[in-house]
Structures are given as C-alpha cells and as structure tokens.
Amino acid sequence: MSLRTRRSALTVSATTALLLLAACGSPGAGGASPSGATAFVIGYAGGLSGMLEGFEKPALEAAKMAVEDINRDGGLNGKRVELITQDTKSDIDQGGPAGQALLAKGAGALLVTADYNFGGGAARAAQAAGVVAVSVGAGSPKFGVQGIGPLAFTMGTSGAGDGALTAEWAYEKRAARSAYVLLDDTTDYNKDQCRGFQTRWRELGGVLAGQDTFKNGDASISPQITRMKSLPKTPDVIAFCSYAPGGAVALGQLRSAGIDSLILTNSGMDGTYWFEKSMPELSGVALPVSASVWGDDPAEEVRRFVERYKEKTGSQPQNMYPVLAYAAVQAIVQAAKESGSTKGADMAEAMNKFTDKQLLIPVSFTKDTHIDVRRPARMLVLDQGKWKTDGLRSLKKAPPLFAE
Amino acid sequence: MTEDILSATGLVRRFAGVTAVDDVDLSVRTGEILGLIGPNGAGKTTLVNLVTGFDRPDTGRVFLDGHDITRLSAAQRSRRGLVRTFQGARIFGRLTVRENLVVSALPRLGSRRRAESRADELLEYGEVTALRMTPGERLSAGTQRIVGLLRAVAAQPSALLIDEPAAGLNEVESDQLSRLLSAISENMEIGMMIIEHDMKVIMSLCHRVQVLNHGRTIAVGSPDEIRRDPAVLTAYLGSSSGNAHA
Amino acid sequence: MQYLIDVLSQGSLYALCALGIALTFGVMRLINFAHGEFMMVGGYVLVVAGDIPVWAALLSSVIIVGFLAVATERIAFRPVRNADPETMLVTSFAVSFLLQSLAVLLFGSLGRSVRVFPPSITGVMHIGGLNIRWLDIITVAVTVTLLVSLMAFMKTRHGVELRAAAENFTVARLLGVKANQVIGTAFAISGVFAAATSIVLAAQRGLVEPTFGTTTMLFAFIAVIVGGMGSLPGAVLGAYALGLISVTSQALLPLGLRQFRDAFIFLVVVLILLLRPEGILRGHAARVRI
Ligand SMILES: Nc1ncnc2c1ncn2[C@@H]1O[C@H](COP(=O)(O)OP(=O)(O)OP(=O)(O)O)[C@@H](O)[C@H]1O
Ligand SMILES: [Mg+2]
C-alpha cells in the first residue's frame, strides 16, 4: 500500500510555489542533535509540511513512540536510538537533498515517505551512501532490489497483491460474480491494484462487465457514471483503484448517482474524514490494510498501540501509516541487533531474512523481494459510516508483482 | 479680455543628443483654436506630451486656468479639464459608441442618466446618432476619429489637444471633422490646440498658428501672416527639398 | 443526450471559474493563480459553517471570499500593479502558496468532508430515461443566473467603466475612470464568482482539501486562453467548448487511449490555438496596449 502520489493535485501552482518557499525558507531540521558514537541515529525524511503533512505527521509521531519504547528497553545494544527529521515540504525534488542532509548529520538508517516517487529520492541518497532506507508504506515493488537498490525496503504491500486480495474476498465471501473496473490512472500503484484484481478475477471465473478510467483531479466523473449506467445490469462490485481526495470525490458521485455496488479499493481510501459529513451513513466499501486503526484489529498489540497513540496525540489515526512507521523503526533496530552491525549491507542482509518477523505487525522480506507479500491483510468494510474488520485474509494465489 | 485657459512657458525637453523642445512658450484662450505645425521631427508631439503630462519637461512650466499643473500626472490633468486625443482614435472597441461617450462624461456628471443624455446630445452633434449602439470596433477609421473626438468633448474639457485628427481621412471625412471642430469651438467654452499636417484644415480652422522647427518656435500669428512668413517658408522648403542650409 | 447534460454541467463549472479569472485578467493583465485558492477558502467556509442553514453558509462563503479577493488585491497585487507580468505572476503564486499553507496549518492536508445541500437535493431525477442530478440543475442555474447578472452589471455605470478599463486601462484612466475602484470592483466580482464556483464544486466533490480548486482552475485557465484572453464571452464559450471536449473524449476514446484523455484535450486546445492564435473570440490582450 502507499500514499499515492498526488501529482495531479500538486499541480503547477503548488509545486512552483513550493519552490518559491523552498528558496527563502530555512532547512527545517528538527529533533535533538545526534550524539555521534554513543547513539544510533535514524533520519526521517518526509513531507512534514505541505500536502503530505496529513500522512507524515502521524507517522512521525508513531516513529517517535517506537524510539521511546526501544530506548526504554535498553536501546540498541546499550546505545541510545535517536530520531532526527528533515522536511521535504511534500516536494518530490526535495527528497534527495533531505536524505543527504540527514546522512550528513550521521543518520545510520532512513525512514522515508510512503510513496515511491516522494520517498524515492531520499532512499536513493541512502543507497548511494551505503545506508538502509525503509519506506513507511510505498506500494511499489520497485522500492527494493529491482528499483532503488538492495538497501531499500518498504513496509507497504503491493498494489497487485492488494487488488488480488479484494478479488478473492469479494468472490468467495460476498459471492460477487460481475465486476466493473474503475481506474484512476494517475499512479502506478492504482494500475497495479486494478491489474492484480483483474488477473485474479478472471482466474476465479468472475465476469468483467466493463472498465473505465478517470483522473484524481477530476471534479466530476459524470461521463464515466453515464457509461456505467448504460450497462444492462449494475455490477456486483466495482474495483475502484484510486485514493482520496480524488477517489473520495468519485466514490461520492457514484453513490449519489444511485450506484450501490460494493466498492473494492485500497488503503488510500481508509479514514472517516472524507465522508463523515458528506455521506455519514456510507456503506459497502471494502479495502485491505495491514492494520486497522478502528479499534477492532485482530492483533492485540495493534489495538493497544492505537489506544496509546490516541492517548499521546489526542487524535484518532485515519490510516495504518502510524502502525507501519512504528514497525519500520522496529525493523531497522532489529536488523542492527541481529546483524550486530550498523553497516547498511549487514542490516539489509538481516532484513532479507525476516520471515513473519513479529514486530508490531508481522514483516517478511527476501533477498529479492523487499516488499511484504506474506502479511495477512485485514479487510476493512464500511458499514453505516463505521469501519469494521472482516477477519484476516492471506492471498491464495499471488499475481505477478510487476506488469509484464 | 479673455484669460489664457492653457499656457506654457520656457518648456525644454532634451533627449540624448536632441533638444526636441527648446524654450517654447504657448498660450491658448477659451474659444480659440491654435494650430501647431512644423516639419517632421519639429517637436510637436513632444510638446503635446509635455503639456498633457505624458512626458516631463526638463525646465519650464505649464498652467491650466492660471494654476500651475507642471507636477500633475496626465490623469490628474485630465480630471482638471485638460484632455487630449491620440493620433490613433483609441476608442473602446467593445463598448458601443454611446458607452464610449458615457464613460468619458461620467466623472464630471456623476450620474449615469445625465451622462447618457449628454452622450446623446453629442452624438447628434457629431451626426452619428444612427451608430450609437454599434460597438466601436465596427466603425470605419474616419468615424472612429470622430467618436474619439466626441468622447474627449464628453468629458467637458476646458482645454483640448488634438493630435493629427485628419491624418488618413478622405476628403469627405476630413470636411466633416473640420465642421465638427469649428462647431465645438463655437458652441462650447473651450480652448483647442490642433496638430495637423493638412494645411487646408489648419488654415481654414485655426485662429492662430504656431510654427515649430528644430524644437523652437519660429513664428506665431494668424494663418495669413504664417502663410507669408519667410522663416516658415524656409523651414518648410528646406525640409521638403531635403537640403537644409543655415 | 445524457452526455449533453454532462457537458452542460461541466462547462458551467468551468465557465463560473473562468469568468472570475478573465475579469481580473481584463483589468490588470494579471494571471491570478490564487483564484483556485479563493475557491478553496470558499470551500473551507462551507466546512466550518457546518450545520448553519444552507443560505447562511452560502452567503458567508460569498461575503468572505469576495472580501478576501478585494483584500488580496489591496495587499498583494496593488504594489505590483505596474510591474511586469512576470512579477505579478510570481506574486499570484506566492499568494496561492500562502493560502494553501494556511489551509494545511488550520485544517491539515487530508481534507474535510462537507455537505453543502440537504440530501433531498443531492439525488437524481429520472426524466424520460435521463438521469438528471439536482446538482447539475443547480450548477447550470447558478451559472446562468450569475451570467445574466454579470451582463446586467456590465450595462451599469461601474460595468461600463470596468469594460472600458479592461480594454484600455490607460485611456480609461485618462477619461477619469478610477483605477483603484475599478480594479477593486473586478476583484470583488471575481471573488463572488470564486465563491459560487466553490459552492458548486464543494457540493459536487463532498470534500475540501488545500488543493481543492487547483485542477478546476487550471482547466478554467485553458478555457480563458481558448476563448481569447480577457474576453468574457470568450471565457464562457471556451469553458463550454472545454466541457464538450473533455466529456466527448472521455466518452468516445477507446479504453486504451482514455488514459491519455488530458493529453488529447490539450491537443485539441493546441489545434484551436493554431487555427485561431488569439482564441475563439479575439481577446484584446493580443492587441497593442497604449
Ligand atoms: N522618446 C524619445 N527619445 C529620443 N528622442 C526622441 C523621443 N521622442 C522624440 N524624440 C526626438 O525628438 C524630436 C522631435 O520629435 P517629435 O515626435 O516631437 O516630432 P513631431 O514634430 O511630432 O514629428 P512628426 O511630424 O513626424 O510627428 C525628433 O528628433 C525625435 O527623434
Ligand atoms: Mg508627431
């Protein structure tokens, strides 16, 4: 899963303006100054201001909690763990420089934005410096050996896998047989999700009633709705590969046009903020996540973490990214512990051996695959405006990670 | 005795290398039409720019109705009643003929209704009532010139400077314009200054003529006097034959 | 036929937005990139207004955005009024960025859901096999109402002055049109149009986030360019043309090409501009100033 890039949203005005401010703003390095040899420093390069702020700040809070917990339990082999931050201002081009700034301050590992494009820059800087970089939740398999390099990992899950999982769930648990594919083609993750869905749906024997595309920035998807409405029969499910805000807009329009099909989507549509006022009674939306933040996650540790997070920050997390960020810090420290080294290559080697590693959530990597393809998902189902977990599910048959 | 409505003393304007206007005095009385002539490059347009505030003199002063307006901007001068027309008509193409006049009349008259009736009056005067609802851009060049003039008059100026009104007009249009100009002069409390190359227009219309050459005034007088002035003849002959001599 | 309704609805939205942009471009030659953020502010006013009656929420949005537009002109644009177009453009970027940052600071970047109209008028009507959303009717009605009001306004004293200033600012000033007043009026009206756009857009989207107005504004810009920079009828025409192009390309392009829809739209726009470099209706920006 990933925080989908918001390229369409961050259009000319925002990005150009960002550059303007970048030119006059001072580099916002936060956190305590690293204490060199006595501490192990983790750098967080993320959009702490700008359009990704809503995802990154909660993730950073959780990373801080993880660091506190680890230090309370004796740190990393007696060494303190410290967290320093660098704001990318939600600008793709600031990722690389932010990563370099953190490395220059002695960061021994990086946490980066949950997106291939926004987090990639800092991760490449880390790869070049021989340092491990973990994305909080990028959903691209390129966040690893096949793309950025052998030192890059992501806590996220793949779009293809997420899409396939919803296909299996809808076919088996909801006895759905006809599907419509609605793709917001602004990101690769979305395309992967729809591809994974279609591949599995066909294998399962489901009917594909039609497909269409839209863009995240579209103010209206009326033409798409018109096309869908011309079908002889409303499809049982809609594979809806998009993310908020555009996804929320499109989904609302589907519903107000009277299309009541079950909507299968992804963690980019997690949260209640996007419908609580406009469609307070919204139902029939399902998506797979690595952790539910709505109080009913099957794992007790996750439920406890969410409670602690709420206590500490006074706010309800809107998605799983805080959970993933917490686990990412754990993964980094665990890798250093297990390899007995803080060198990037050694830590990566240790992470490659993670198989259902019990961190806040289970984490698995292999030498070739630095994105988790084993983790059981929770299907979140929206019912009368409330997210409910519909059990744990593992993929029965995985679609190819990469489009051929 | 009538006071000068518009006057200037000792105006000098130098550009790199040229003194475009060199110690020129000027006076226009209410009810009078002053013609400003001179060969190409004599400094006529520069002088008009100095008087109307589109350019600033290096030295010299400009007075409107006895008040020193040398330091005022063009917009301020026009608000006080010193209005000019441009070489191109520059009327508003998207506005109707009537609206062109209304915009101009509004600041003085305050209310839209009064501005409209003033506009209608002037349209009649200029014999263009039939075109009142036509957008400016659809008019012929000649009619645009007439509307531009009417628009300037709609502002009820006390002094009006008109730059080459007849340039590019045919005989008929040029006559119509001359008639309009003299009618305006006779019927309104206004002093006018006209730059024009067409001697026929100047000689038939103007009460007095001022001649510029190389930035200096070389003659001022009645049309008849000017016609016979040897300095003027030399200036025009010199420039038209192309071999200037000292 | 159903698509025709989509065209009308989408074209109307673009028209509302494009008129606001064309108005300020007309008098100031300012390409106001902050217009989308005026819309965004209008959206957040509706979010904050919450449960107060609809009419009160709409009214506050119009008033606040109108005021914001006028204030922005005073504070940001007036000092650079006589500067070159690039300076004004950069200023509008700065304003746009400032307002977006402020929105992130106050409301976060995630966005807030909003319900503008009661559920009874957010549904669909079925008339002779057509699905007509109430919102489509509202969108078109708001556009037509504002368009007619704007046309009526343009015949009034201030309207005539505004049109004169839009066409030739220098000459208009010489004729005694007050620059501050006429620009202020243009911004106020532009703000009202931004608010109206934001109301329709918020109702249509159900979500307000810091980049709320950006995409619509970009399309509206294209409409303004296609229609002929600075021409108000051109902006409206351009908006409906763009609505037509985008709906038909979405409807007619085969699936494999649909992802290139925007590229296709821009291609058509470029073709139009090649055929008519000054836009469908020639804008006066292309003509000589002074
Ligand atoms: N902005 C300027 N910079 C430099 N020189 C200038 C400028 N404006 C005018 N001049 C010069 O000043 C002199 C007077 O020019 P001006 O335009 O006033 O003449 P004119 O009498 O209006 O001529 P015409 O009959 O051709 O319109 C010319 O030599 C011209 O080249
Ligand atoms: Mg001249």
Q: What are the DSSP calls for A192-235, one per residue?
A: HHHHHHHHHHHHHT-EEEEEEEE-TT-S--HHHHHHHHTSSS--
Per-residue pLDDT of chain A (404 residues; tens, 9 = 90+): 445 444 333 333 444 444 444 433 333 344 444 445 679 999 999 999 888 999 999 999 999 999 999 999 999 988 999 999 999 999 999 999 999 999 999 999 999 999 998 999 999 999 999 999 999 999 989 999 999 999 999 999 999 999 999 999 999 999 999 999 999 998 889 999 999 999 999 999 999 999 999 999 888 898 899 899 889 999 999 999 999 999 999 999 999 888 999 999 999 999 999 999 989 999 999 999 999 999 999 999 999 999 999 999 999 999 999 999 999 999 999 999 999 999 999 999 999 999 999 999 999 999 999 999 889 999 999 999 999 999 899 999 888 888 77
The residue count for chain C: 290
Helix (H) or strand (E) holding A42: strand A39-46
- Distance from the Cα of B174 to chain C's closest Cα (Å) equals 24
Helix (H) or strand (E) holding B195: strand B191-195
B118 and B154 Cβ atoms separated by less than 8 Å:
yes
CA distances in angstroms from A280 to A86, C44, C108, listed in the order given: 37, 18, 20
- Distance from the Cα of C172 to chain A's closest Cα (Å) equals 32
Give the ligand with the smallest distance to the CA of B18.
1
CB neighbour list of residue C75: distance below 8 Å, 6 or more residues apart: none
- Distance from the Cα of C59 to chain B's closest Cα (Å) equals 30
Does C168 touch chain B if contact means CB atoms closer than 8 Å?
A: yes
Nearest CA in chain B to C281: B94
Tens digit of each residue's pLDDT (9 = 90 or more) over B184-194: 999 889 999 99
- Torsion sign (Cα): A240, A245, A250, A253: positive
Judge if the beta carbon of residue B40 lies within 6 A of ligand 1: yes
What does the alpha-carbon distance between residue A167 and residue B233 come to, in Å, rounded to a whole number? 100
Q: What is the pLDDT of residue B245?
A: 38
- Answer yes or no: do C175 and B94 touch at CB < 8 A: no
- Distance from the Cα of B103 to chain C's closest Cα (Å) equals 6
**Which atom of ligand 1 lies closest to the CA of B39?**
25
Q: Do chains C and B touch (3 or more CB pairs under 8 A)?
A: yes
Q: How many C-beta neighbours within 10 Å does residue B230 have?
A: 8
The answer to whether residue B246 scores a pLDDT higher than 60 is no
CB neighbour list of residue A40: distance below 8 Å, 6 or more residues apart: A75, A76, A79, A80, A81, A82, A108, A109, A333, A336, A342
The residue count for chain B: 246
- Answer yes or no: do B90 and C157 touch at CB < 8 A: no
Judge if the beta carbon of residue B44 lies within 6 A of ligand 1: yes
Q: Which residue stretches of chain C have pLDDT < 50?
A: 284-290
Give the ligand with the smallest distance to the CA of B212.
1
Does C181 touch chain B if contact means CB atoms closer than 8 Å?
A: no
Q: How many C-beta neighbours within 10 Å does residue B204 have?
A: 13
A303 and A297 Cβ atoms separated by less than 8 Å:
yes
* Residue C278 zone, left/alpha/beta (φ > 0; ψ -120 to 50; rest): alpha
User: Which one of C205, C219, C249 makes the best mutation probe of the A interface by having the most chain A beta carbons within 10 Å?
Assistant: C205
- Distance from the Cα of C175 to chain B's closest Cα (Å) equals 5
Site to probe by mutation for ligand 1, drawn from B12, B26, B46 as the one with most ligand atoms within 8 Å of Cβ, is B46
Which residue intervals of A205-343 are DSSP H helices? 222-229, 246-256, 300-313, 321-339
What does the alpha-carbon distance between residue C186 and residue B96 come to, in Å, rounded to a whole number? 20
Judge if the beta carbon of residue B41 lies within 6 A of ligand 1: yes
Angle, helices C134-155/C157-167, rounded to nearest 10 degrees: 90
Nearest CA in chain B to C156: B112
CB neighbour list of residue C150: distance below 8 Å, 6 or more residues apart: C19, C189, C232
- Answer yes or no: do C175 and B151 touch at CB < 8 A: yes
Instruction: Identify all chain C residues contacting B106, using CB atoms and an 8 Å cutoff.
Output: 157, 160-161, 176-177
CATH number, domain A7-157+302-363, options 3.40.50.620, 3.40.50.2300, 2.40.240.10, 2.60.40.150: 3.40.50.2300
List of E strands, chain C: 112-113, 124-127, 130-133, 207-208
Residue with CA at minimum distance from ligand 1 atom 2: B15
Residue of C185, C184, C217 whose CA lies nearest to C198: C217
CA distances in angstroms from B168 to A99, B85, B141, B143, listed in the order given: 69, 15, 8, 12
Query: Where do the domains of chain A lie?
Result: 7-157+302-363, 159-289+377-393
* Residue B41 zone, left/alpha/beta (φ > 0; ψ -120 to 50; rest): left
Question: Which amino acid, one-letter code, is at A200?
Answer: R
* Residue A299 zone, left/alpha/beta (φ > 0; ψ -120 to 50; rest): beta
- Answer yes or no: do B104 and C168 touch at CB < 8 A: no
User: Which one of C197, C209, C247 makes the best mutation probe of the A interface by having the most chain A beta carbons within 10 Å?
Assistant: C209
Judge if the beta carbon of residue B39 lies within 6 A of ligand 1: no
B89 and B147 Cβ atoms separated by less than 8 Å:
yes
Q: How many Cα atoms within 13 Å fall on the side-chain side of residue B81?
A: 16
* φ/ψ (deg, to 5) at A288: -90, 135
CB neighbour list of residue B101: distance below 8 Å, 6 or more residues apart: B115, B118, B119, B122, B123, B147, B150, B151, B154
User: Which one of C110, C136, C140 makes the best mutation probe of the A interface by having the most chain A beta carbons within 10 Å?
Assistant: C110
- Answer yes or no: do B108 and C176 touch at CB < 8 A: yes
Does C250 touch chain A if contact means CB atoms closer than 8 Å?
A: yes
Give the ligand with the smallest distance to the CA of B38.
1
Residue of A369, A378, A377 whose CA lies nearest to A401: A369
Does C82 touch chain B if contact means CB atoms closer than 8 Å?
A: no
- Torsion sign (Cα): B194, B195, B200, B203: positive
Site to probe by mutation for ligand 1, drawn from B44, B47, B212, B216 as the one with most ligand atoms within 8 Å of Cβ, is B44
Look up residue B83 and give its two tokens.
């209005």
How big is the B-C interface in CB pairs under 8 Å?
Answer: 57
- Answer yes or no: do C255 and A275 touch at CB < 8 A: no
Residue of A317, A324, A240 whose CA lies nearest to A289: A324
Which residue intervals of C175-253 are DSSP H helices? 179-205, 214-227, 232-252
What does the alpha-carbon distance between residue C231 and residue C26 come to, in Å, rounded to a whole number? 7
C33 and C90 Cβ atoms separated by less than 8 Å:
no
What does the alpha-carbon distance between residue B32 and residue B205 come to, in Å, rounded to a whole number? 10
CB neighbour list of residue B124: distance below 8 Å, 6 or more residues apart: none
- Torsion sign (Cα): B140, B141, B142, B145: positive
Pairing of β B4-14 and β B19-29: antiparallel
Which of C36, C109, C205 is closest, CB to CB, to A52?
A: C109
- Answer yes or no: do A13 and C96 touch at CB < 8 A: yes
Which of A51, A226, A252 is closest, CB to CB, to C3?
A: A226
Helix (H) or strand (E) holding A237: strand A237-241
Strands of B4-14's sheet in order across: B19-29, B4-14, B59-64, B67-68
Q: What is the pLDDT of residue B2?
A: 53
Ligand 2 centroid from CA B30, angstroms: 24
- DSSP assignment letter at A36: G
Tens digit of each residue's pLDDT (9 = 90 or more) over C95-114: 999 999 999 999 988 899 99
Instruction: Identify all chain C residues contacting B104, using CB atoms and an 8 Å cutoff.
Output: 175-176
Pairing of β A132-135 and β A109-112: parallel
The answer to whether residue B16 scores a pLDDT higher than 80 is yes
Instruction: Identify all chain B residues contacting C176, using CB atoms and an 8 Å cutoff.
Output: 75, 78-79, 104, 106-108, 155
Instruction: Identify all chain C residues contacting B107, using CB atoms and an 8 Å cutoff.
Output: 175-177
Residue of B201, B202, B99 whose CA lies nearest to B150: B99
Q: Please provide the distance, in angstroms rounded to a whole number, between the alpha carbons at the two ends of chain B.
A: 40
Burial A364-400 (b: 16+ CB within 10 A, else e): bbbeebbbbbbbbbbbbbbeeeebbbbeebebeebbe
A159-289+377-393, which class in CATH? Answer: alpha beta
What does the alpha-carbon distance between residue A153 and residue A168 come to, in Å, rounded to a whole number? 27
- Distance from the Cα of B79 to chain C's closest Cα (Å) equals 6
Does C171 touch chain B if contact means CB atoms closer than 8 Å?
A: yes
Instruction: Identify all chain A residues contacting C112, using CB atoms and an 8 Å cutoff.
Output: 273, 277
Q: What is the pLDDT of residue B15?
A: 92
- Distance from the Cα of C38 to chain A's closest Cα (Å) equals 13
Chains that touch B (3 or more CB pairs under 8 A): C
CA distances in angstroms from B157 to B126, B152, C171, listed in the order given: 17, 7, 15
User: How sure is the predictor about B50, in pLDDT bands with cuts at 50, 70 and 90?
Assistant: very high
Residues of C (13-72) whose Cβ lies below 8 Å from A: 13, 33, 36-37, 47, 50
Judge if the beta carbon of residue B38 lies within 6 A of ligand 1: yes
Instruction: Identify all chain B residues contacting C164, using CB atoms and an 8 Å cutoff.
Output: 92, 95, 99-100, 103
Look up residue A123 and give its two tokens.
């991760």
Q: What is the pLDDT of residue A375?
A: 92
Q: Do domains A7-157+302-363 and A159-289+377-393 have the same CATH topology?
A: yes
Which of C2, C101, C115 is closest, CB to CB, to A278?
A: C115
